[in-house]
Amino acid sequence: MITQTAPSTPRGSALSSTVHQRRRRQPSLYRTLSRVLIMLIVVVQVYPLAWLFLTSLRTEHDFATGDPFALPSSLTWENYARAFETGDLGRNILNSFIVTMGANILIVLFGMMAAYALQVLGFRLSRFVRALFLVGIIVPVQIALVPLFIDYSAVNLLDTYQSMIIPLAGFALPMSIYLFSSFFEYIPRETYEAASLDGAGPYRIFGLITLPLSLNTVVTVVLVNSIFIWNDFIFANTFVLSEDLKTIPLGLQNYIGAMGKVDWTATFAAVCVTITPLLLVFLVLNKAMIQGLESGATKG
């Protein structure tokens, strides 16, 4: 860039000032337009969620008759009381938590182990194994429903936490392996070689070098996967029947009454309660989460 190599010459400064002029002239229209557009799109993304929350505070009468855009005429917490009466929200949240934790432990531990074997240890068929794992990224999860349903009923796993955790972890594993491998690439060879010379075997190197260094990647993997696992509907809906094991998405379905009659304001209150935990995590850790999502795909 000219302005950097020769900032003091007259030619350089003249050029850079025309650049700045262009920059300053163009903004007015282009910038205002893009700002308005961005605001508009943000409203489209966020308003429905704000509306969801406002509706959960409306009285039923207000909801059934009023203008949907209007602010509630009076605020009430009654919907929340009814929401807790209708369903077992605490239980649902606990179940979602157990499933998310269980799956995440498998995803992180196994993802790290496989990446270590593929990237650090290396072996002859590693390309083939990588290709096998790639299949899991492309193939839709629905393919596994019928076979797993049959297999689970054969080994009595239907209606258990494991029935949800196994496929959730299995399908998330390839992406996790991929993220860990691309991180392991950045750990210098010399680190390993030095440790090897000191007599450390593959297990000690894994525990003393690879594991502690990958903590950032662990956070990324956990955050990204938690969004999908916490909200999983299809595996839970297929493999779980008993109320005791229902996760949040299934619990919410209980609010659809018989004959399709729905207590909407209470349902929305329940929705608000159930999205709160993940939303809080997201808002507190959104920097880490955003970084994770960005790095996850740009490296590919």
Partner 1 sequence: MLPNRSRTSVLVFLLPPLLLYCAAVLFPILQSLFLSFFSWNGISEMEFVGLANYVRMLTADDIFWRSFFNALLYLAICLVLQLGGALVVASLLTSLRRGRELIKTLYLLPAVISTVAIAFLFVRIYSIDPVGLLNQLLHWVGLGSFERAWLSDVNTVLAAVSAPEGWRFTGLYMLIIYAALIAVPKELEEAAVLDGASKWTLFTKIRFPYIRPVWITTTIMATTYGLRGFDIPYLMTNGGPGQSSELLTTYMYKTAFTSTDFGYASTISVFIVIECLVAVGLILFMLKRKADS
Q: Which is nearer to partner 1, 76 or 291 (CB)?
A: 291
- For the bound state, the minimum distance from the C-beta of residue 85 to partner 1, rounded and expressed in Å, comes to 18
Distance between CA atoms of residues 231 and 16, nearest Å: 51
Q: Which is nearer to partner 1, 17 or 75 (CB)?
A: 17
- For the bound state, the minimum distance from the C-beta of residue 38 to partner 1, rounded and expressed in Å, comes to 5
- For the bound state, the minimum distance from the C-beta of residue 251 to partner 1, rounded and expressed in Å, comes to 9
Q: Which is nearer to partner 1, 15 or 101 (CB)?
A: 15
Distance between CA atoms of residues 279 and 284, nearest Å: 8
Q: Which is nearer to partner 1, 193 or 243 (CB)?
A: 193
DSSP string computed for 177-217 = HHHHHHHHTTS-HHHHHHHHHTT--HHHHIIIIIHHHTHHH
Nearest residue to 71 (alpha-carbon basis) of 96, 95, 53 = 53
Q: Which two tokens stand for residue 15?
A: 């050029």
Q: Contact 140/163 with Cβ under 8 angstroms?
A: no
Q: Contact 54/43 with Cβ under 8 angstroms?
A: no
Distance between CA atoms of residues 170 and 280, nearest Å: 27
- For the bound state, the minimum distance from the C-beta of residue 95 to partner 1, rounded and expressed in Å, comes to 13
Across-strand partners of 256? 262
Q: Which is nearer to partner 1, 57 or 120 (CB)?
A: 120
- For the bound state, the minimum distance from the C-beta of residue 90 to partner 1, rounded and expressed in Å, comes to 17
Q: Contact 141/167 with Cβ under 8 angstroms?
A: yes
* Length, in residues, of the chain: 300
Q: Which is nearer to partner 1, 77 or 153 (CB)?
A: 153
- For the bound state, the minimum distance from the C-beta of residue 181 to partner 1, rounded and expressed in Å, comes to 12
Please name the residues in contact with 185: beta carbons below 8 A apart, sequence gap of 6 or more.
119
- For the bound state, the minimum distance from the C-beta of residue 106 to partner 1, rounded and expressed in Å, comes to 7
Q: Contact 57/79 with Cβ under 8 angstroms?
A: yes
Q: Which is nearer to partner 1, 244 or 300 (CB)?
A: 300
DSSP 3-state assignment of 114? helix
Tokens 């499933």 belong to residue:
99
